[in-house]
């Protein structure tokens, strides 16, 4: 009888298998025990190998497995487990007697016989004697090589994977549980034999019955036979890849230490290839999508997916009853639902961690979804932190950038979700897939598509590999760290009184880094100050943009929608700088927006004919000339608002409004200068004396000092921007203050002392919450500037002299001030020293005039619009300038160098 050897149990027993049964059924097996000889037995988890057992088994394995065995049965034993027939007999492979070969090489022994020996018995005894004499096999005088055989899976599963992941190890396939599940013996570099269970990466075959009474899944036995006939007890190379947990599913943690794994995921390579590819090609397994990520670094996923697709098209095996494959026309067509599959454009908005808007070259805006990518949800408190991080990553990476877009498929409308184009977005000269970068940083996950769903990213394997890398490194959503949901930003424009509290601080800062969070209209923006987590409404000063419609039922002004759309596409979500001038009655801040160093948004809108100049507010701005020039350019080009502009008619109808900068009635107040600020211009703060406020402040400070002396900060107290607090100044005393900025890292805050106007940086240890009884009295410091004059510029060598002279004239003195003009909450003051005898004879004498006479200040003809309303003061200042020039004082030391204003 002739059968093929499929495995070797030990050095004296083989498992044979015949031909396939009818209709392709797996063939029957038979066990053959070699007659009259014995070999050492292999051990298991409960007992060790007998000496030389593995070598004896391996000799017989190499001699017989996969080859035809011609055997004769001398005695039949009762069937074993699974009703498998068992025989005692002899066999030959390619004409060579198996028993004699084992004896000759010293891997078997002749049993003691209870009968008269035959000629064959004597011959075998002679072969055994020859092996002994030569020291072959188990007769080797040096004994077997010492080794440890570990039958159980490694206890530290993750550590074992980390050490051997991706490295090729020699192995023998010891058993096959089903088509894609194997038990292998790994030959470790230090001589150990480590048994492990492996599920083949990239495929899952139907389950095969493992014991009597169980039922196999359809084609489960066929898949097992397919693998077994090719790999069982064959020498292979094994690459371990991962544990079987789907680690790429974020936000699901159980908090307990994982038990030892019962199986690993890996690649098993036979000299002729990867068995998975053949299983898939025969339709005996399904491709496992989530394995593609771990397979990507080693290649081959494309081959596996192609083999699976080919089996589906041929309707082989598991795919025999699958629905007819969808025609591939959509994958090669140039359009989807009439829209172009590939296009280029600029990113104008980031909606979330997986959705963006792109404006194409023809001006059409398309809202698109990243293929096979799912960003964290802002609505989920556990994901909100990462949702914001993902959105910010895309904003910095894409907003305003040129991108190349490939539409992979269109996701149909489903429930509350609208139809959406699913795309691959590439950016930069390297054609980087943005979704891959997002996933690699742990800021998004890969969608697990259904098995037969071909609508997926063409880079799906790379996305899975990126997710695998992020999970392995514990990045982002895979870190297991819980972050509280981001706090909503403080709205500074919620009320006019709140906005007024921040106005002077913003003015002193000059240009402030910010982000355009939303565009409400052509000249109205919601601005985010990320450093302090604050938002405000910014209205562009000096211009008026037409009002846009606020809904489908409302009709906006002509070109209102166009202005809003232009501003949205150009400024939405961009990093910008803002500069604050004043506030409006609703709490909005009026100022300028700078998308870059060379662009003023107000000037751009006017140039495009999407806004007009508002003379009353524009004339006070330093960029007024740019606005008027831009408007003239737009008029000549007849852009948008000016498309029907007739210059002749406009001139006839034009009426120049006269602005009211008239002289105020004298309003003298007693003041002391409490603080001087020299950055971003020259300003100071004053306290108005002889008022109830100052008297109340004196009493308040006595109670205040007693209350806060020796107090400790409350546990867990962290000040926030905008808070009123008690802060300890460098003189050791406590004063009322307002928090401007907070640095949790440095544990310090920038504060403004509201009763004196000065600013400082104070550590958290010197800040306390302000008791409510000390909050009723308004801050006693008033922002002020000099009327009519301005100190020499910051680049002048006389700047420090001018500041020092101002301190000399004002510090510690009780002064009289006349309010010549009010600009918002800032007082324009003429300061008078009543102790100066000159003031008794000259009512126009003032510290302002003294600074000009000393050559340390000049007449502010450009910024002081009310100068002409005070002709006597103007004459006095001209006399002071003439005197400074004559006497070569200050900036006139080397001649007439006054600015030509």
Determine the length of the chain: 901
Residue 340 pLDDT level (bands cut at 50, 70, 90): low
Q: Report which of 490, 385, 481, 388 is spatially closest to residue 719, judged by C-alpha positions.
A: 490
Cα 878 versus chain centre, distance: 62
718-733: pLDDT as tens digits? 888 878 889 888 888 8
Residue 321 pLDDT level (bands cut at 50, 70, 90): confident
683-701: pLDDT as tens digits? 999 988 866 667 677 777 7
Of the ranges 78-82, 90-94, 423-427, 647-651, which one carries the lowest mean pLDDT score? Answer: 647-651
Q: Is the pLDDT of residue 453 over 70?
A: no
* Spatial distance between the Cα atoms of 901 and 893, rounded to a whole number of angstroms: 20
Residue 901 pLDDT level (bands cut at 50, 70, 90): very low
- pLDDT at residue 655, rounded to an integer: 44
- pLDDT at residue 324, rounded to an integer: 55
3-state DSSP call for residue 760?
Answer: strand
Of the ranges 179-188, 252-261, 424-433, which one carries the lowest mean pLDDT score? Answer: 252-261
* Spatial distance between the Cα atoms of 578 and 569, rounded to a whole number of angstroms: 18
Cα 484 versus chain centre, distance: 16
| CA angle, 226 then 232 then 236, to 5° | 105
Cα 549 versus chain centre, distance: 35
Query: Which structure tokens are listed for 78?
Result: 């009762």
Query: Which structure tokens are listed for 631?
Result: 């408007």
Averaged over 25-38, what is the pLDDT? 89
Query: Which structure tokens are listed for 886?
Result: 């004559």
Residue 806 pLDDT level (bands cut at 50, 70, 90): very high
3-state DSSP call for residue 143?
Answer: coil
Long-range contacts of 62-65 (CB under 8 A, 24+ apart): 63/93, 63/98, 63/101, 64/5, 64/8, 64/14, 64/93, 64/98, 65/5, 65/6, 65/7, 65/8, 65/232, 65/233, 65/234
Averaged over 660-682, what is the pLDDT? 83
Q: Is the pLDDT of residue 284 over 70?
A: yes
- 343, 353 in Cβ contact below 8 A? no
Q: Is the C-alpha dihedral spanning 516, 518, 523, 529 positive or negative? A: negative
Residue 762 CB-density burial (10 A; 0-12 exposed, 13-18 middle, 19+ buried): buried
**Percent of the chain, pLDDT > 90?**
51
481-528: pLDDT as tens digits? 888 888 999 999 988 889 999 999 999 999 999 999 999 999 999 999
747-764: pLDDT as tens digits? 899 988 888 888 889 998
Of the ranges 238-242, 276-280, 333-337, which one carries the lowest mean pLDDT score? Answer: 333-337
Averaged over 655-674, what is the pLDDT? 72
* Spatial distance between the Cα atoms of 734 and 744, rounded to a whole number of angstroms: 22
97-112: pLDDT as tens digits? 999 999 999 999 999 8
Q: Is the pLDDT of residue 334 over 90?
A: no
Averaged over 853-869, what is the pLDDT? 90
Q: Report DSSP state, residue 687.
A: E
Q: Return the higher-pLDDT residue of 255 and 893.
A: 893
DSSP string, 869-897: G-HHHHHHHHHHHHHHHHTT-GGGTTS--
- pLDDT at residue 9, rounded to an integer: 94
Note the helical H segments in 733-870: 799-810, 838-841, 847-853
- pLDDT at residue 851, rounded to an integer: 95
Q: Report which of 757, 739, 756 is spatially closest to residue 748, judged by C-alpha positions.
A: 739
Q: Is the pLDDT of residue 561 over 80?
A: yes
- pLDDT at residue 213, rounded to an integer: 75
| CA angle, 776 then 751 then 745, to 5° | 130
Q: Is the pLDDT of residue 575 over 70?
A: yes
Residue 661 pLDDT level (bands cut at 50, 70, 90): low
pLDDT averaged over every residue in the chain: 86
Q: What predicted TM-score, i.e. pTM, was given to this entire model?
A: 0.52
Averaged over 286-303, what is the pLDDT? 80
208-228: pLDDT as tens digits? 988 777 888 999 999 999 999
- pLDDT at residue 701, rounded to an integer: 77
Quickly count: other Cβ atoms within 10 Å of residue 727's Cβ: 23
- 566, 610 in Cβ contact below 8 A? yes
Q: Report which of 411, 425, 419, 418 is spatially closest to residue 463, judged by C-alpha positions.
A: 425
């Amino acid at each position: 009888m002739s059968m093929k050897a499929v495995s070797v149990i030990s050095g004296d027993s083989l498992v044979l298998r015949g031909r396939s049964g009818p209709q392709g059924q797996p063939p029957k097996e038979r066990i053959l025990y070699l007659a009259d000889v014995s070999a050492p037995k292999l051990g298991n988890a409960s007992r060790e190998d007998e000496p030389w057992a593995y070598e004896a088994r391996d000799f017989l394995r190499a001699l017989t497995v996969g080859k035809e065995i011609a055997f004769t049965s001398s005695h039949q034993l009762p069937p074993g487990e699974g009703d498998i027939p068992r025989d005692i007999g002899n066999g030959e492979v390619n004409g060579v007697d198996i028993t004699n070969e084992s004896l000759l090489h010293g891997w078997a022994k002749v049993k003691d016989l209870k009968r008269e020996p035959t000629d064959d018995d004597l011959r075998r005894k002679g072969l055994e004697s020859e092996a002994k004499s030569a020291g072959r096999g188990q007769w080797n005088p040096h004994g077997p090589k010492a080794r440890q055989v570990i039958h159980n899976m490694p206890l530290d599963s993750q550590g074992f994977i980390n050490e051997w992941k991706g490295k090729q190890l020699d192995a023998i396939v010891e058993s096959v549980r089903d088509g894609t599940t194997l038990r292998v013996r790994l030959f470790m570099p230090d001589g150990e034999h480590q048994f492990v269970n492996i599920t083949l990466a990239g495929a899952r075959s139907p389950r095969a019955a493992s014991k009597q009474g169980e039922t196999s899944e359809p084609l489960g036995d066929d898949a097992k036979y397919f693998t077994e006939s090719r790999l069982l007890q064959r020498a292979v190379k094994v690459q371990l890849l991962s544990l079987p947990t789907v680690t790429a599913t974020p936000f699901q943690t159980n908090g307990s230490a994982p038990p030892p794994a019962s199986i690993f995921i890996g690649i098993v390579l036979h000299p002729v290839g990867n068995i998975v590819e053949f299983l898939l090609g025969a339709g005996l397994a399904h491709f496992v999508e989530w394995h593609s990520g771990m397979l990507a670094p080693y290649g081959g996923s494309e081959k596996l997916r192609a083999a699976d697709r080919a089996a589906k098209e041929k309707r082989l095996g598991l795919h025999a009853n699958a629905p007819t494959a969808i025609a591939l026309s959509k994958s090669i067509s140039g359009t989807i639902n009439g829209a172009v599959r590939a296009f280029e454009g600029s990113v104008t908005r980031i909606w979330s961690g997986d959705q963006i808007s792109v404006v194409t070259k023809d001006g059409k805006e398309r809202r698109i979804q990243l293929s096979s990518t799912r960003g964290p949800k802002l609505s989920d408190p556990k994901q909100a932190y990462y949702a914001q991080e993902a959105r910010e990553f895309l904003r910095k990476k894409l907003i305003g950038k040129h991108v190349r877009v490939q539409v992979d498929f269109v996701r149909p409308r489903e429930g509350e979700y609208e139809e959406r184009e699913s795309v691959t977005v590439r950016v930069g000269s390297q054609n980087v897939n943005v979704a891959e970068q997002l996933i690699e940083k742990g800021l998004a996950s890969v969608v697990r598509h259904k098995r037969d769903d071909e609508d997926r990213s063409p880079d799906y394997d790379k996305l899975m590999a990126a997710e695998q890398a992020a999970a392995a490194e514990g990045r982002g959503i895979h870190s297991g760290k819980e972050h509280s949901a981001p706090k909503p930003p403080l709205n500074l424009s919620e009320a006019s009184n709140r906005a007024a509290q921040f106005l002077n601080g913003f003015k002193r800062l000059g240009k402030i880094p910010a982000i355009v969070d939303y565009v409400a209209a052509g000249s109205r923006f919601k601005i985010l100050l990320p450093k302090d987590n604050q938002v405000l409404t910014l209205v562009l000063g000096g211009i008026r943009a037409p009002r846009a419609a606020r809904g489908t039922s409302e009709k906006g002004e002509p070109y209102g929608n166009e202005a809003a759309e232009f501003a949205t596409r150009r400024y939405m979500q961009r990093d910008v700088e803002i500069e604050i001038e004043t506030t409006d009655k609703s709490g909005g801040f009026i100022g300028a927006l700078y998308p870059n160093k060379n662009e003023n948004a107000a000037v751009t809108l006017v140039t495009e004919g999407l806004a007009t100049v508002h003379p009353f507010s524009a004339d006070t701005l330093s960029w007024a000339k740019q606005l008027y020039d831009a408007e003239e350019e737009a008029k000549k080009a007849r852009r948008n608002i000016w498309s029907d502009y007739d210059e002749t008619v406009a001139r006839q109808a034009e009426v120049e409004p006269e602005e009211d900068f008239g002289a105020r009635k004298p309003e003298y107040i007693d003041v002391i200068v409490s603080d001087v600020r020299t950055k971003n211009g020259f300003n100071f703060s004053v306290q108005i004396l002889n008022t109830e406020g100052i008297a109340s402040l004196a009493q308040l400070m006595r109670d205040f000092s007693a209350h806060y002396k020796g107090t400790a900060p409350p546990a867990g107290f962290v000040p926030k921007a905008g808070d009123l607090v008690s802060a300890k100044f460098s003189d050791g005393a406590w004063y009322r203050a307002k928090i401007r900025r907070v640095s949790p890292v440095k544990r310090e805050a920038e504060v403004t002392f509201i009763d004196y106007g000065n600013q400082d940086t104070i550590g958290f240890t010197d800040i306390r919450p302000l008791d409510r009884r000390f909050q009723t009295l308004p801050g006693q410091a008033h922002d002020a500037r000099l009327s009519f004059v301005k100190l020499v510029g910051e680049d002048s060598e006389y700047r420090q002299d001018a500041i020092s002279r101002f301190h000399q004239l004002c510090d510690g003195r009780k002064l009289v001030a006349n309010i010549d003009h009010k600009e918002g909450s800032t007082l324009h003051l003429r300061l008078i020293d009543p102790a100066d005898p000159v003031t008794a004879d000259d009512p126009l004498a003032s510290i302002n005039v003294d600074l000009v006479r000393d050559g340390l200040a000049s007449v502010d003809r450009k910024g002081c619009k009310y100068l002409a309303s005070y002709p006597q003061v103007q004459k006095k200042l001209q006399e002071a300038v003439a005197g400074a020039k004559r006497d070569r004082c200050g900036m006139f030391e080397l001649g007439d160098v006054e600015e030509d204003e």
